[in-house]
Structure 1
Amino acid sequence: MISVFKKIWFFSGKERNNLTRSIVAAFFHAVFNAFQFVAIYYMLKCLFKQNVVQKDIIIVLVVLIISLIGKIITQNVSQMNQTHAGYFMAANKRIELGEKIKRVPMGFFNNFSLGKLTTLATTNLTQIESWIPVLLVNVLGGFLNTFIFVLSIFIINFEIGFVALIGMIVFLFVTFLMEKRSRKNAADMSNIQTRLTKNVLSTIQGMQVIKSYNLCGENNKSLNDAIDDSYKTTLSLEKMIIPYTITQRIVIGMTIVVMLLFCIKLNLSGNLSIVDTVVLMIASFTIFDGLIGAGSNMAILRIAENAIDSYEYVNHMPDIDEGNISSLIQNHNIDINNIRFSYDNRRVLDNVTCIIKENEMTAIVGMSGSGKTTLCNLIARFWDVNEGEIKIGGNNIKDYTIENLMDNISMVFQDVYLFEDTIENNIKFGYQNATREEVVNAAKKAQCHDFIVSLPQGYNTSIGEGGASLSGGEKQRISIARAMLKDAPIIIFDEATANVDPENEDKLKLAIESLTKNKTVIMIAHRLKTIRNANQILVLNKGCIEQRGTHEELMRQGGIYKDFVNAKSVSENWSLNN
C-alpha cells in the first residue's frame, strides 16, 4: 500500500504541491467531520443530565457551524487541488511523451510500439488524470476519517476503542491481500488494453481493405479476439475482487456487532454511562463508512498504479545520440562515406559513398526496395547508420544538435500528412511565428494560393485529419508551401510527384522549381522528366550505387538507368486497344 502512494508521489512531479495540499485538506476535512460527533456527544450529555441551558445550545450550534464551514472549505480546497494535480500531471506527461518521441529513432516505431504509445497517451494517462488524485485523496481521507473516530472512541472508552482498532487492522490486512492479488490482473489488463488499441487502430486505418474483402463484423477475428480478451480480463478482475470485498464487509459487520455487545455489557455492569453507551452505539454504525469506501477504491487504485508502471516504457525508449554543435552550418555539401545500414538482419544499404554538392540537384533512382528512401532518411537522421558516416558542412551529422540539423533540412514526402487544423496553421507548421503575409507569399510560390482563397474560409478553412478534404495535388502543394516557409538550405523530395494527376503536375513542377532555387536538393523520382536536368543522378541497385552521372552520361553508358528510361517510355506510351 505504501509503495502505491510512493509511486504516485514521485510520478506527480510538478503537481506534488497540489497533491500535498489536497491530502492535507482531506485530513482537516476528517477533523471537521469529527466535530459533529463531538457536538452530538456534548448535547446528549446535557440532555441526559436534564440541565440544557442556552449556553449549551449555542456551543453545539457553534461547533456544528464550524464543522460545516470547515468541511465546505476543506472539501473545496482538496477537490480543486486534486483536480488540478490530476489533469496537469497527465498533461505534463503527454508533453514529455511528445518531446521523447521527437528524440526516438524512426526504427523504433512498429505496430506494437504505436499501439503501446497510443494506449499510454490515451487510456493510461486518462486513468491517471481521472482516478489517481481522487482515489488517493479518498483512500487517505477514508483511513484518516476512521482513525480519528477510533481515537475519539478511545477517549470515551478504551475497551470499545480497542475493538474498533482491531477491526480496522483486520480490515486493512484484507485490503492488503486484495491489493496484492490484484497486481497480476492489473498488469494483464494493461497488456490487453494495448493489444485492443493496436487492433482498433489497424482496423480503422485499413477499413477500406477490410470492407473490400468483407472482413467486417465476425470476420475481423483479430479485433474480435482483442475485445473478447479485454472483456474476459475485466470480468476476471471483478470476480477476483468480490471475495475480498465480501470479507471486508464481514469484518466491518462483525466489528460493529462486537462493539454493540461491549457497549451493552459495560452498561449493564455499570462501567459505561447511558450517554456514552448511546453515543458509542451510534458511532459503531458510522465510523467505518470512510474505511469501506477506501477499501473499495484500493483495487481501482492498483489499476491506476499499473498505469504509472506502464509509463516506464517511455523511459526505456532509446534516444538518438545528440551532438553539441549548435552553431550555423556554413556550407551544405553532404559527404556520404562507406555507409551500411540494415533493418534488423536485412541489409538495405551496403558500402554507399557519394558527394551531394551544395546548391545542386542530386537525383536518386532505382527499383523499389533498392534503398532510395532509406538513404534520405539516414541523411535526416530518422535512423542512424550501422557503419560509415554522413557529413554535412564537414561535420558528422551526429555531432550536431537535433534541432540544428533539422533546421537545415526540409522534406517533402510522397504521402503528405496534414493536421486537423486550418490551412494557414498547416503551412506554418515548420515556422510557427510566420505572419499571414509570409504564409500567403509561400502559398503563391507553391501554386496553391488560388485554390485556398476559393475555399469557404480561405486560409482559415479547417481540413480533416490527414487533409482528407483535399486532393492529392492540393496536399502536395501545401506541403511544398510549408517547406518554402521553413526555407531550409537542404531539400529532400521523396517521390513527391509519384501520385499526382497530370492536371496538377505542371503546377507542382513550378512549385518545386521555386522551392529549390539556391538549395541543395535531393530528389527521389519515378517520373524521369523531373530529374533530366539534375546535376547528378545516383542509380541504386540492391543497396549499392551502381551508376552515377548526368542524364546524358548515363544514357551513353547504358545499363540499369538506360533500361529504366526505356521501360518508362514504353509504359507511358502504352494504351488499351479494342
Structure 2
Amino acid sequence: MIDALKKIWDFSGKEKGNLNKSVLLGFVYAMFNMLQISAIYFILKAIINGERDTKPMIIALSFLLISILGRTVTDKFAQLQRTHAGYFMVAEKRISIGNKLKTVPMGYFNENNLGEITGITTTILDEVENTAPMVLVNMMSGFIDSIVFLLMILVYRWQIGIFITVGIILYLWVTSVMERKSRNLAPLRQEAQEKLVDALLEQLQGMLIIKAFNLTGKGDKKLKTAMQNSRNANLNLEKLFTPYTIMQEMVLRMCSVGIMLFALYSYFKGEMNLLTTLMSIIISFSVFSGLESAGSAMSILRIVSSSIEDANRTDDLVQMDSNGKELSPSNHDIIFNNVSFSYEKKKILDGISVTLPDKSFTAIIGPSGSGKTTMCNLIARFWDVDNGSILIGGHDVKEYTLESLMSQISIVFQKVYLFQDTIENNIRFGKPEASREDVIAAAKSACCHEFIMSLPLGYETVAGEGGMNLSGGEKQRISIARAILKDAPIIILDEATANVDPENEDRLQNAIEALTKDKTVIMIAHRLKTVRHADRILVINKMKIEQQGTHDELIHKEGIYRRFIAEREDATAWKM
C-alpha cells in the first residue's frame, strides 16, 4: 500500500505541492467536521440539564455555521488543488510521451504498439487523472479524520478509544489483504483495456474493407473477444473486491455496535452519565466515516498503481541517440557508406555504398519491397542503420540533433496524412512562423490554391482527420505545398505525383521542378517522365544497388531498368 501511494506521489512531479495543499486542507476539513459533534454536545447538555436560556442554542448554531462554512470553503479549495494536480501531472506525462515518440525508431509504430500507446495516453492516463489524486488525498484525509476522532475520544473516554483503535487496525488489515490479492488481477485488467483499444482502432481503420466485403457483424471477432475479455477482467476484479468490501463494512459496523453497547452498559452500571452515553452513541455513527472514505480509495489503489506502472513503461522506450549537435552544413551531399538494415529479422538493405552529390537529382526505382522507401527513411533517420553510416554534408546523421537534421530535409510521402485542422495550418506545418501570404504563395506553386478557394471556408476549411474531407490528389498537392513552404535543402519525394489527376500533373510537375531547384533531390519513382531527366538513377533489387547511371546509359544495358522502361511503354500504349 505504501509503495502504491509512493508511486502516485512520484508520478505527480511538479504537482506534489498541490497534493500537499489538498491533504492539508483535508486535515482542516476534519477539524471543522469535529465542530458538528461539539454543537450536538451543547444541545444535549442543555436539554439534559433543563437549561431554558438561548445561550446553548446560540453556541451550537455558531458551531454549526462555522462547521458548514469551513467545510464548504476547504472542500472547494481541496477539490481545486486535487483537480489541478490530476490534470497537469497527466498533461505533463502525455507531453513527455509525445516528446519521446519523436525519437523512437519508426519500427516501434506497428499496429500492436499503436494500440498500446493509444490506450496508455487515453484510457489509462484518464484513469490516473481522475482517480490518482482522489485516492491519495481521500486516503490521507480519511486517516487524518479518524486519527483526530481517536485523539479526541482518548481524551474524552479512553475505553471507547480502544474500540476505535481495534476497528481501525482490523479495517486496515482487511484492506491490505484485498490490496495484495488485487495485484495479479489489476495488471490483467489494464492489459485487457489496452487490447480493447487496439481492437477498436483496427476495426475503425479497417471499416472501408469491412463494408466493401460485406463483413459487418462478421469481421469483428477480434473486437468482440476484446470486449468480452475486458468485461471479464473488470467483473473478476469486482468479484474479488466484493467479499472484502463486505468484511470492511462488518468490521466497522461491529465496532460501532460495540461502542453503543459499551456506552449503554456503562450507563446502566452508573459508570457513565447520560450526556456521555448519548454522545458515545452519536459518535459511533460517524467515527469511521473518514476511514470508510479512505477504504473506498484503497480499493482502487492497485488499479491506479497498475495504470501508473503502464504509463511509466514509456520511460523505457528504446530511443535513437539524439544528443547531437546543431549542425547546418554548407553542402548537402549524401553518402551511404556500406549501409545494412533489417526490419526485425528481415534484411532489407545489404552493404549499400553510394554518393548522392549536392544539388543533384537522384531517382530510385526497383521492385516492390526492394528497399527504396527504406533508403529514404534512413536518410531522415526514421530508423538507425544496423551497420555502416549515412553522412549529410560530411556529418553522420547521428551527429545531428533531431531538430537540426529535420530542418535539412523536406519529405513528400506517397501516403499523405493531414491533421484535423485547417488547410492553412496543415500547409503551415512545414514552417510554423510563415505568414498567410507565404502559405498562399506555396499553395499557388503547388497548384492547390484554386481548389482551396472553392472549399466552403477556403483556407479555414478543416481537412478532417487524416484529410478525409479531401481527395487523394488534393491531399498530395497540399503536402507538396507544405514542402515548398519549408524550403529545405534536401527534398525526398516518394512517388509524389502518384495520386494527381492528369489535368494537374503537368502543372504539378512544374511545381516540383520549382521546389527542387538547386536542391539535393531523391525521388522514388515509377514513371518514365519522372526518371528520364534524373542526374542519376539507382536501381535497387535484392537488397543491393543492381544498376546505376543516367537514363541514356541504362537504357542501352540489359537489366531491370531496361525491362522497367519497356513495361511502362507497353502499359502506356495499351488500349481497351
Is the shorter-chain TM-score for this pair beyond 0.5, marking a shared fold?
yes
Render the CA deviation track for 1:371-424: whole Å, top value 9, x for unaligned. 100000001000011111110111111111111000100100000000011000
Which residue does 1:92 correspond to in 2?
92
Any residues of structure 2 matched to 1:177-256 within 5 Å, and which? 177-256=177-256
Structure 2 letter corresponding to 1:346: K
Instruction: State the Cα distance separating 1:335 from its structure 2 match.
Output: 0.9
Which residue does 1:261 correspond to in 2?
261
1:165 has 2:192 as partner: no
Which residue does 1:300 correspond to in 2?
300
Q: What SS class does the counterpart of residue 522 from structure 1 fall into?
A: strand
Instruction: State the Cα distance separating 1:297 from its structure 2 match.
Output: 2.6
CA separation in 1, counterparts of 2:455 and 2:169? 69
Which residue does 2:82 correspond to in 1?
82
Native 8 Å contact 1:28 1:74 kept in 2? yes
Native 8 Å contact 2:134 2:297 kept in 1? no
Instruction: State the Cα distance separating 1:558 from its structure 2 match.
Output: 2.6
Which residue does 2:38 correspond to in 1?
38
CA separation in 2, counterparts of 1:323 and 1:389? 17
Structure 2 letter corresponding to 1:279: M
CA separation in 2, counterparts of 1:410 and 1:219? 39
Q: What SS class does the counterpart of residue 271 from structure 1 fall into?
A: coil
- Farther off after superposition, 550-559 or 384-393: 550-559
Structure 2 letter corresponding to 1:36: Q
Render the CA deviation track for 1:101-139: whole Å, top value 9, x for unaligned. 001110122122111100011001110111111232223
Q: What SS class does the counterpart of residue 347 from structure 1 fall into?
A: strand
Render the CA deviation track for 1:133-180: whole Å, top value 9, x for unaligned. 123222322222222222222222111111111011101111111111
Instruction: State the Cα distance separating 1:573 from its structure 2 match.
Output: 1.6
Q: What SS class does the counterpart of residue 183 from structure 1 fall into?
A: helix
Render the CA deviation track for 1:268-309: whole Å, top value 9, x for unaligned. 222211101001101101222232232223222321221101
Render the CA deviation track for 1:511-532: whole Å, top value 9, x for unaligned. 2112111111000011121121
CA separation in 2, counterparts of 1:243 and 1:126? 28
Q: What SS class does the counterpart of residue 349 from structure 2 fall into?
A: strand
Instruction: State the Cα distance separating 1:219 from its structure 2 match.
Output: 4.2
CA separation in 2, counterparts of 1:224 and 1:552? 58
CA separation in 1, counterparts of 2:211 and 2:232? 28
Any residues of structure 2 matched to 1:95-494 within 5 Å, and which? 95-494=95-494
Q: What SS class does the counterpart of residue 569 from structure 1 fall into?
A: helix
Native 8 Å contact 2:349 2:544 kept in 1? yes
CA separation in 2, counterparts of 1:234 and 1:323? 43
Which residue does 1:524 correspond to in 2?
524
CA separation in 2, counterparts of 1:42 and 1:527? 95
CA separation in 2, counterparts of 1:218 and 1:563? 44
Any residues of structure 2 matched to 1:525-564 within 5 Å, and which? 525-564=525-564
CA separation in 1, counterparts of 2:310 and 2:509? 48
- Farther off after superposition, 143-152 or 180-189: 143-152
Render the CA deviation track for 1:319-341: whole Å, top value 9, x for unaligned. 11124321322110111111011
Instruction: State the Cα distance separating 1:62 from its structure 2 match.
Output: 2.7
Render the CA deviation track for 1:82-107: whole Å, top value 9, x for unaligned. 11111111111111111110011101
Render the CA deviation track for 1:45-83: whole Å, top value 9, x for unaligned. 233223354443333333222222211111111011111
- Farther off after superposition, 567-576 or 384-393: 567-576
Instruction: State the Cα distance separating 1:242 from its structure 2 match.
Output: 0.5
1:565 has 2:570 as partner: no
Render the CA deviation track for 1:461-498: whole Å, top value 9, x for unaligned. 11211111111111111001111111110000011222
CA separation in 1, counterparts of 2:403 and 2:528? 33
Q: Please, which runs of 5 or more residues in structure 2 have no aligned partner? A: none
Q: What SS class does the counterpart of residue 184 from structure 1 fall into?
A: helix
CA separation in 2, counterparts of 1:33 and 1:240? 33
- TM-score, normalised with respect to structure 2: 0.97
CA separation in 1, counterparts of 2:186 and 2:528? 56
Q: What SS class does the counterpart of residue 318 from structure 1 fall into?
A: coil
CA separation in 2, counterparts of 1:73 and 1:222? 50
Which residue does 2:13 correspond to in 1?
13
Identity %: 49
Native 8 Å contact 1:498 1:527 kept in 2? no
CA separation in 2, counterparts of 1:52 and 1:289? 34
Structure 2 letter corresponding to 1:85: A
Structure 1 letter corresponding to 2:533: N
**Count of paired positions:** 576
Instruction: State the Cα distance separating 1:40 from its structure 2 match.
Output: 1.5
Native 8 Å contact 1:443 1:478 kept in 2? yes
- TM-score, normalised with respect to structure 1: 0.97
Structure 1 letter corresponding to 2:346: R
Native 8 Å contact 1:390 1:397 kept in 2? yes
Structure 1 letter corresponding to 2:121: A
CA separation in 1, counterparts of 2:561 and 2:110? 34
Structure 2 letter corresponding to 1:95: I
Render the CA deviation track for 1:516-565: whole Å, top value 9, x for unaligned. 11111000011121121011110111110011111101112231101110
Q: What SS class does the counterpart of residue 430 from structure 1 fall into?
A: coil
- Farther off after superposition, 14-23 or 49-58: 49-58
Native 8 Å contact 1:473 1:504 kept in 2? no
Native 8 Å contact 2:476 2:499 kept in 1? no
